[in-house]
Structure 1
Amino acid sequence: NKIFMQGGVCYNKAVPVAMAALTGKEIIVPPDPGLMRAFGVALEIKKRIELNLMEEQTFNLEELINRKVDYGKSFTCAGGAEKCDRKCSVSLIHINGKKYPFGGACNKYYNLQEEYHNDIKNNNLINLRQDLVFGKYLYPADLPRHAKTIGIPKSFLTNTLFPLYYNFFTQLEYKVVLGDNVKQLGIEKKESAFCFPVELAHGFFQDLIDRKVDYIFLPHVLEVYNRDSKFFDRTCVLLQSETYYLKATFKEDLGEIKILSPIISFADGYENAKVKFLELAKELGKDKSLASAAYDYATETQKDMLNEFKLIGRTVIEELENNPDKFAIVLFGRSYNSFAKEANLGIPQKFASRNMMIIPHDFLPSEALESYRHMYWGLGKQILQSARYVKDHPQLFGTYITNFSCGPDSMIITYFRNIMGNKPSLTLELDSHSADAGINTRIEAALDIIKSYRELDKKGMISEIKKYFRPLKVKNAWTITDSDGEEIPLTDSRVKVLIPNMGNYAAEVFSAVFRSMGINSEPLPVSTFKTLTSGRGITSCKECLPLILNAGAMLDYYHERKPENEKTLFFMAEGTGPCRFGQYHVYLEEIIRKKELKDYGVYTLSDEDSYGGLADEFFKRGWIGTTTVDVIQNMFHAINVIAENKKKALSVLTEEWKKILEIIEKEDISKIYKQLEVLAEKLSNQKKKISYDDAMKVALIGEIYVRHDEFSRMDLIERLAEKNIVVKVAPIGEYIYYSNYLALRNDGHRKPGLKELAKLKIKNKFQENIETKIKNILTRSGFCDNELVQVNKVAKKAAHLISPELAGEAILTVGSGLREILDHVSGVISIGPFGCMPSRVAESILNSELNIEGKAAAEKIERKNYSSEIENLPFLAIETDGNSFPQIIQSKIEIFILQTQRLYKIISEGNLLIKQSYGQKFYDYILDQYNKRFQGNSTEKYLPDIAGLSSQESD
Structure 2
Amino acid sequence: MELFKKQRVEYRRRDLDQLASMKVNFTESVCHADKKCHNECKLKVYNFGERKSVWGGDCGRYETRAEGGRETDYFQVRQALFEKALMEAGNLLTEAEAGRQPKPVIGIPLALHSLEWGVFWAHLFSELGFPVLLSPKTTNKLAFLGVENVVSEVCFPVKVFHGHVRYLMDRAEYLFLPNVVNAPVPQPDEIGYLCPLVQSSQYMCRSALNIPDRRIIRPTLHLKEDPANLVYVFEKAFAPGLRPRRSELQRAIFKALARQMEFSRQLIETGNEIIAHIDPAQPVWIVTGRPYNLYDDRLNLQFGKQLAKLGIKALPMDLVSSDSEDMSDFKRMFWGLGARIIRTAKRILRTPNWYGVHLTNFSCGADSFIEHFYRHLLREKPSLILELDEHSAVAGLLTRVEAYRNVVNNLQEKRMSRKLDPDEPDSLEAAG
TM bucket (normalised to shorter chain) is 0.7 to 0.9
What's the TM-score once normalised by structure 1's chain length?
A: 0.40
2:234 partner amino acid: F
Q: Tell me which residue corresponds to 1:205.
A: 165
Measured against aligned partners, the alpha-carbon deviations of 1:878-928 in whole angstroms (never above 9, x if no partner) come to xxxxxxxxxxxxxxxxxxxxxxxxxxxxxxxxxxxxxxxxxxxxxxxxxxx
Q: Tell me which residue corresponds to 1:236.
A: 195
Please give the alpha-carbon distance, in whole angstroms, between the structure 2 residues aligned to 1:405 and 1:106.
23
How far 1:187 sits from its partner (Å)? Answer: 2.7
Matched, 1:463 2:432: no
How far 1:209 sits from its partner (Å)? Answer: 1.4
How far 1:396 sits from its partner (Å)? Answer: 2.2
How far 1:61 sits from its partner (Å)? Answer: 8.9
Q: Tell me which residue corresponds to 1:409.
A: 367
DSSP 3-state at the match of 2:326: coil
DSSP 3-state at the match of 1:156: coil
Please give the alpha-carbon distance, in whole angstroms, between the structure 1 residues aligned to 2:14 and 2:349.
43
Please give the alpha-carbon distance, in whole angstroms, between the structure 2 residues aligned to 1:58 and 1:286.
71
- Structure whose residues are more often helix by fraction: 1
Q: For structure 2, which runs of at least 5 residues remain unmatched after alignment? A: 93-99
- Would the alpha carbon gap of residues 109 and 188 (structure 1) be closer, same or farther in structure 2, given more than 3 Å must change? closer
Matched, 1:348 2:304: yes
Measured against aligned partners, the alpha-carbon deviations of 1:259-311 in whole angstroms (never above 9, x if no partner) come to 12211111236565444234445853211111111111101110110000100
Measured against aligned partners, the alpha-carbon deviations of 1:928-954 in whole angstroms (never above 9, x if no partner) come to xxxxxxxxxxxxxxxxxxxxxxxxxxx
Q: Tell me which residue corresponds to 1:265.
A: 222
- Would the alpha carbon gap of residues 142 and 206 (structure 1) be closer, same or farther in structure 2, given more than 3 Å must change? closer
What's the TM-score once normalised by structure 2's chain length?
A: 0.84
1:135 partner amino acid: K
Matched, 1:441 2:402: no
| Pair member with larger Rg | 1
2:27 to 62, 68, 73: 73
2:51 to 94, 98, 104: 98
1:222 to 171, 174, 181: 181
Q: Which has the higher contact order (CA 8 A, sep 6+)?
A: 2
Equivalent residue pairs, number: 411
**Percent identity over paired residues:** 26
2:337 to 379, 391, 396: 379
Matched, 1:135 2:84: yes
DSSP 3-state at the match of 1:222: strand
Q: Tell me which residue corresponds to 2:119.
A: 163
**Retained in 2: the 8 A contact 1:155–1:204?**
yes
- Would the alpha carbon gap of residues 171 and 55 (structure 1) be closer, same or farther in structure 2, given more than 3 Å must change? closer
Worse-superposed segment, 161-170 or 123-132:
123-132
How far 1:207 sits from its partner (Å)? Answer: 0.9
Please give the alpha-carbon distance, in whole angstroms, between the structure 2 residues aligned to 1:237 and 1:115.
42
How far 1:431 sits from its partner (Å)? Answer: 0.9
1:191 partner amino acid: V
Please give the alpha-carbon distance, in whole angstroms, between the structure 2 residues aligned to 1:310 and 1:221.
23
**Retained in 1: the 8 A contact 2:380–2:429?**
no
- Would the alpha carbon gap of residues 329 and 84 (structure 1) be closer, same or farther in structure 2, given more than 3 Å must change? farther
Please give the alpha-carbon distance, in whole angstroms, between the structure 1 residues aligned to 2:10 and 2:215.
69
How far 1:381 sits from its partner (Å)? Answer: 0.5
Q: Tell me which residue corresponds to 1:370.
A: 326
Q: Tell me which residue corresponds to 2:96.
A: none
RMSD: 3.4
DSSP 3-state at the match of 1:216: strand
Q: Tell me which residue corresponds to 2:389.
A: 431
- Would the alpha carbon gap of residues 276 and 71 (structure 1) be closer, same or farther in structure 2, given more than 3 Å must change? farther
DSSP 3-state at the match of 1:161: helix
Please give the alpha-carbon distance, in whole angstroms, between the structure 2 residues aligned to 1:58 and 1:350.
26
Please give the alpha-carbon distance, in whole angstroms, between the structure 2 residues aligned to 1:160 and 1:176.
17
Please give the alpha-carbon distance, in whole angstroms, between the structure 2 residues aligned to 1:91 and 1:325.
41
- Would the alpha carbon gap of residues 430 and 465 (structure 1) be closer, same or farther in structure 2, given more than 3 Å must change? closer
Measured against aligned partners, the alpha-carbon deviations of 1:178-229 in whole angstroms (never above 9, x if no partner) come to 2336263443232211111111121112111122x22111111111112224
Measured against aligned partners, the alpha-carbon deviations of 1:713-755 in whole angstroms (never above 9, x if no partner) come to xxxxxxxxxxxxxxxxxxxxxxxxxxxxxxxxxxxxxxxxxxx
- Would the alpha carbon gap of residues 221 and 87 (structure 1) be closer, same or farther in structure 2, given more than 3 Å must change? same
- Would the alpha carbon gap of residues 346 and 58 (structure 1) be closer, same or farther in structure 2, given more than 3 Å must change? closer
1:118 to 70, 77, 85: 70
2:70 partner amino acid: N
1:155 partner amino acid: A
Please give the alpha-carbon distance, in whole angstroms, between the structure 2 residues aligned to 1:411 and 1:154.
26
Please give the alpha-carbon distance, in whole angstroms, between the structure 2 residues aligned to 1:98 and 1:107.
18
2:186 partner amino acid: R
Q: For structure 1, which runs of at least 5 residues remain unmatched after alignment? A: 1-40, 468-593, 595-955
1:131 partner amino acid: A
Please give the alpha-carbon distance, in whole angstroms, between the structure 1 residues aligned to 2:34 and 2:425.
41
Worse-superposed segment, 142-151 or 378-387:
142-151
Residues 291-306 of structure 1 mapped to structure 2, 5 A cutoff: 291-306=249-264
How far 1:441 sits from its partner (Å)? Answer: 1.3
- Would the alpha carbon gap of residues 201 and 158 (structure 1) be closer, same or farther in structure 2, given more than 3 Å must change? same
How far 1:236 sits from its partner (Å)? Answer: 1.0
Please give the alpha-carbon distance, in whole angstroms, between the structure 2 residues aligned to 1:142 and 1:338.
27
Q: Tell me which residue corresponds to 1:329.
A: 285
